[in-house]
Structure 1
């Protein structure tokens, strides 16, 4: 019996829930679980639409090609393919492939273009923060929303924290007196302590004082709360910061640009690479280079001026 005879698209869909449970048991982040599930769901829909064998390499290649042909980024195609490959690896580990080997075990990932992501300028950052100013006489819910967004932006800008790390913060993770925020579980399950300055601390304090009047204030440990008694999710952060960026006139904004911007500003101010890696939660120097390469030449020029090595 072939693998395609053993597992249909519908059977694979039924196993998707079990895989998600396994990912949660492995303590994968909610964002990772969601991304993987979306990738596999889209792949199975592609296979079903064309009556294709979902466990054939040609089907996976066609799926990746369809993503690239639609104009999506190569990184998106790579992420979707990775989700499918992780899924079939799990099927193999759980002996759900009927004794057949994992069909995608040696499939290569799409090659990524080297993209240069420009950090936000000081003028853009000021415009972002200005867009968070609450209008005079605003009610508590509107005031909370503006103060929350300003606090989030300042925290991301100063520390370079990932969006998922920011969303996961709880009230007790922030020590305003010490100017420290504790990331309980960063990428790869690693935690760290992140310092922040007086301006960020003041913004968080203002938000926390307004937060006391929220419907969930007494029952939720989450630092950030949403509107009208709702929790504040990862998707909500993307949406609300996108609204602030639009109001600030920033085109092509994505919350991840805050991480690139924070890294550039740290080095431009004379901060050490080792310090930046510790604060940002990077363990490999190549990640540092990836995030800071856009303005490497301009930082080098400023450093050369300060050194004045031509003054003999």
Structure 2
């Protein structure tokens, strides 16, 4: 590209760091993405940023997609290009933003990984041998019983629970929304056992439901690590993370009830399309049963 175009790009990075106060990571990503675009322009004999057209951006993104870039990476590149051209518009160096209405190719949605009922039974019925494991079991039972997000479980306070009513309140869920959730009998029993031990052996420093031995609220990373350690100690080879318990809750509930709206409410999804991914999991389960049971579905012996 023309030397002036390179200077304009340098000016953009400078204002991004100084005026916008973007993080070093963001500036680094924008620099890499826009340098890719600059090389593309050079190869196409496009010398000035104002000469770049909507069709050029579309062709550029299509080319990057053919080279194997993921939808997420392409979305990030388009975001960098749009930001750059918004800067050019403000400074009078371009009359249009050629990336404005271009979308990255959609990527196939990955199905969430779940545990089956037997796997969960093995996880939750492994037994406890310490105060910390009593607490941990209460956490894991509650994850699976109520389908909580990791952030929601970490944020729970003692006052959010109504154990006689077998319910809890998520006061600030995703999007700032609250919801009331049921608690299963196994989780109620595990929580009651934890609270009895906590009252005697842990100082009452924090109002959090789940606290450390010092009485301070357990953070999200600590909860993740406790689940990892639980699996290692109990001889569970599979890597299990808290969100798998939430996914399993949703999948098992939908499999039994077929009530998508109810599962949506329990999960706290604002859009039912987010919940519908679990219908694919349910279909996979039915397809496996079909393959095993239907006489015309069975594979021929070799």
Query: Normalization by structure 2: what TM-score?
Result: 0.66
Tell me the residue number matched to 1:201: 188
Tell me the residue number matched to 2:231: 245
Tell me the residue number matched to 2:166: 179
User: CA shift at 1:191, angstroms?
Assistant: 0.9
* Number of residue equivalences: 253
1:42-81 equivalences in 2 (<5 Å): 42-45=25-28, 52=31, 58=37, 77=73, 81=76
User: CA shift at 1:103, angstroms?
Assistant: 9.9
Alpha-carbon distance in structure 2 between the residues aligned to 1:103 and 1:211:
61
User: CA shift at 1:288, angstroms?
Assistant: 1.7
Q: Deviations over 1:3-24 (max 9, x none)?
A: 63154388359824xxxxxxxx
Q: CA RMSD in A?
A: 4.1
Alpha-carbon distance in structure 2 between the residues aligned to 1:196 and 1:204:
10
Alpha-carbon distance in structure 2 between the residues aligned to 1:124 and 1:270:
20
Do the aligned partners of residues 174 and 204 (structure 1) sit closer, same or farther apart at CA in structure 2, a change above 3 Å counting? same
1:128-147 equivalences in 2 (<5 Å): 128-131=123-126, 133-135=127-129, 138=130, 143=131, 145-147=132-134
| 8 A Cα contact 2:206 2:215, kept in partner | no
Given the alignment of the two structures, is residue 124 of structure 1 paired with residue 128 of structure 2, yes or no? no
SS of 1:177's equivalent in the other structure is helix
Tell me the residue number matched to 2:295: none
User: CA shift at 1:283, angstroms?
Assistant: 3.0
Q: Deviations over 1:37-59 (max 9, x none)?
A: xxx55443456xxxx47876749
Alpha-carbon distance in structure 2 between the residues aligned to 1:168 and 1:155:
13
1:1-312 equivalences in 2 (<5 Å): 2=8, 4-8=10-14, 11=17, 15-16=21-22, 41-45=24-28, 52=31, 58=37, 77=73, 81=76, 99=91, 108-109=103-104, 111-131=106-126, 133-135=127-129, 138=130, 143=131, 145-213=132-200, 217-247=203-233, 248-270=235-257, 272-299=259-286
SS of 1:182's equivalent in the other structure is strand
| 8 A Cα contact 2:158 2:207, kept in partner | yes
Higher Rg of the two aligned structures: 2
Structure 2, unmatched stretches of 5+, are: 1-6, 39-59, 291-302
Alpha-carbon distance in structure 2 between the residues aligned to 1:75 and 1:221:
43
